[in-house]
Structure 1
Amino acid sequence: MEGRDDTVAVKRAVEADTIETGGSAINEATLRKIALAMERRGIIIFTDPDHAGERIRKIVANRVPGCKHAFLREADATKGDDIGVENASPEAIREALSRVRSEVVGASEEAQDQIDWEDLIGAGLIVHPEAAARRRFMAERLGIGYCNGKQFYKRLAIFRISREEFAAALAELEKENERGE
C-alpha cells in the first residue's frame, strides 16, 4: 500500500496486514520489512493503478522476487481526478484480490507455451492504431494490470499466462468489438 488511506480502504474490504510504502519514494527500511514479510508469509503487491503505483510495484518486485500481484482496474480506483486504491469500493478490492497472479521467479522467455511478440502483433496489442485500448481490455480480462506493450509482454511471461487464457481473452475482445460495430 502506498499510504494510510489505501490501508483503510483495504481493511474495509478484507482482513489483511499491510505495509505502507509512503509513496513512490520507498526507502530501504520499508524494502527490508517487505522482504522479511515475503520470507515469513508471502506478500501481495497491491498499488494504485497509476505511474507511481507501477514504479513502486517494479521496485518491490525487483528487490523481492516471487511476489504475488493484484491489479485494480483504473475505472474502479478513480474518483474525479484522483486515482488510487483509497477510491475503490470494497467489492472492487475483493475482486482484484481474488485475481491475484503469482510471479514465477526466473520465468523464461523461451518457455514452450510462451506467447511471443508475433502473437501480440497479430492480436493488435502492439503496432496497431487501437493497441492501447486493446491491451487495456486484455489486461483487465487476464488480471495483469494495464501497461505498455513491452511491459505487457513481460507480464505474460512472469505470470505464465497460457496460450489458452490469452486466446479466451482475445476471443472476448473480438466479441466485444463485434458488438460495438
Structure 2
Amino acid sequence: MIKEVIVVEGKDDTVAVKRAVNADTIETGGSAIDEHVLHTIRLAQERRGVIIFTDPDHPGERIRSIISEHVPGCKHAFLNVQEAKAKGKVGVEHASPEAIRRALEHVHTAEPHLEDDSPSAITMADLMEARLVMHPEAARRREEMGKLLRIGVCNGKQFLKRCSQFRISKEEFEAAVRQIETKE
C-alpha cells in the first residue's frame, strides 16, 4: 500500500491507479477545484502526504499548479504523453499499470527554490548550452529531458523551475543531456 494519498483528476484515473497499485485517491473532478477538494487534499497532506498525479496535458498542469500553490510540500509523479496516450486521447486512465507504477516509483518533492549561486542549481545558461531553450529543437529536447528526469514536459521557464523545485543536480542534468546527445 502506498502511504500517500494520490490526487488524480477523475474516476477513470482512480480505476487505472488502483489497477496498478494499492492506494487511496482523491479526485479533483477536473480543473475547477473547489475549496472543499483543496481542504481534503490539505488534510491528506498533513496526515499521510500527497502525490499529485495528473494528466500530461495543459489542464493536468493547471491542476498540479493550483494544488501546489494551495498545499505546499506535495510530491509529484509524472507520465509522459506516450505513456498516457490511447485512441488519440491523453490521460492517466490510458496508461498501463507498469507505466503508472514506474511514475509512482520516481516521485519528486517540490522544495523551496535554490539560490542561483548554489553549486547544484541549474541555470538558464545551462538550459541554453544544452539547447533546451532558444534553439529550433528546444521543445523536443525538453520533452526528452522531462522523460529522462521524470519531471514532465513544460516550457523553458517551467523546466528551470522544476529543476530547482525537485533538486535536480548538475550531475543528473548533465547525464540526461549526454543521453540525448548520444541518441542524436
Give yes or no for TM over 0.5: yes
1:108 paired to 2:114: yes
Question: Which blocks of at least 5 consecutive residues in structure 1 are unaligned?
Answer: none
CA distance in structure 2 between the aligned counterparts of 1:176 and 1:41, rounded to whole angstroms: 41
Taking structure 2 as the reference length, the TM-score comes to 0.94
What is the distance in 1 between the residues matched to 2:101 and 2:148?
A: 16
In structure 1, the residue corresponding to 2:52 is in which secondary structure? strand
DSSP 3-state at the match of 1:19: strand
Pick aligned residue for 1:24 from 31, 37, 40: 31
2:45 — aligned with what? 38
Amino acid at match of 2:71: V
**Distance in 2 separating the partners of 1:163 and 1:91:** 29
Q: Which residue number corresponds to residue 130 of structure 2?
A: 123
Alpha-carbon separation, structure 2, partners of 1:3 and 1:81:
18
When normalised by structure 1's length, the TM-score is: 0.95
How far apart are the structure 1 equivalents of 2:157 and 2:123?
Answer: 11
Which residue in 1 is equivalent to 2:19? 12
Between the aligned partners of 1:108 and 1:115, the Cα distance in structure 2 is 9
- List, as ranges, runs of 4+ consecutive aligned residues in structure 1 with deviation greater than 6 Å: none
SS of aligned partner of 1:7:
helix
Distance in structure 1 (CA, Å) of the matches to 2:114 and 2:43: 26
The one-letter amino acid of 2:113's match is A
1:112 CA displacement: 3.0
The one-letter code sitting in structure 2 at the alignment partner of 1:27 is D
**Structure 2 residue runs without a partner (length 5+):** 1-7
